[in-house]
Amino acid sequence: MKTIGMLGGMSWESTASYYKVINEGVRDTLGGLHSARICMYSVDFEKIEKLQYQGDWKETAVILARGAKAIEAGGADFLLICTNTMHKVASEIEAAISIPLLHIADATGVELRKNTVKRVGLLGTRFTMQENFYKGRLTEKYGIEVIVPELVEQDSIHSVIYKELCLGKIRARSLQKFLDIIHSLRDKGAEAVILACTEIALLVQQKHTSVPLYDTTRIHAMAAVKKAIETKITVFPYL
């Protein structure tokens, strides 16, 4: 089994979900008491969040690259950045290490293509919804059209993520707000909606709506499980 490198803490609420999904995936695939081999580095999100709002992405890249190097030194075979937003500096992190980076948009794009989804809505932080590092990758590599909520809706989503979900606060009124936005995206032609912030699935689940949801935390985590155990394990009998 390969060792999965997890660059987490952004926020730790969703990193805990990654850890759970990955270990459940390994257990369910291999059976018994199997669990994942993981090397994790968790950052202090307070500093990252402040740098995001200052627009100092260069410094966030320095901090995360340092963590990625520590993960590689710890024996990881490949790396996950356990957040959607910080894939904005994925290329800088990737350049700092020699192990492969499993990109969250690629894992999501593969799933969308598998299900022949051509037009998808996207919810995430304001950075992910407005900038091109995520949307552009889905369009250019996978031919998927991406639509995002209106600006006022984007502000609402962003606020809930940082002021509630990253702090572990799950509120019914916020769930309804997100569902209204999801249904609005469906009315605009979205065949499905990507939960492109790793905290959103703490609030919104498939049971809440008939619109197909793509939970990037679970998709990314299960792609890591697949990569970690892609070589067949041979059990040698006693001689």
Q: Strand pairing partners for 122?
A: 194
* H or E stretch covering 182: helix 172-187
CA distance 63 to 79: 15
* Helices and strands (H, E) in the chain, number of each type: 10, 7
Q: Strand pairing partners for 25?
A: none
Please enumerate in sequence order all residues whose Cβ is within 8 A of that of 70, keeping only pairs 6 or more positions apart, or say none: 41
CA 170 remoteness from chain centre: 19
CA distance 138 to 112: 9
Q: Strand pairing partners for 79?
A: 5, 101
Q: Identify the CA nearest to 100 among candidates 4, 33, 10, 229.
A: 4
Q: Indicate which residues carry an active-site annotation.
A: 83, 197
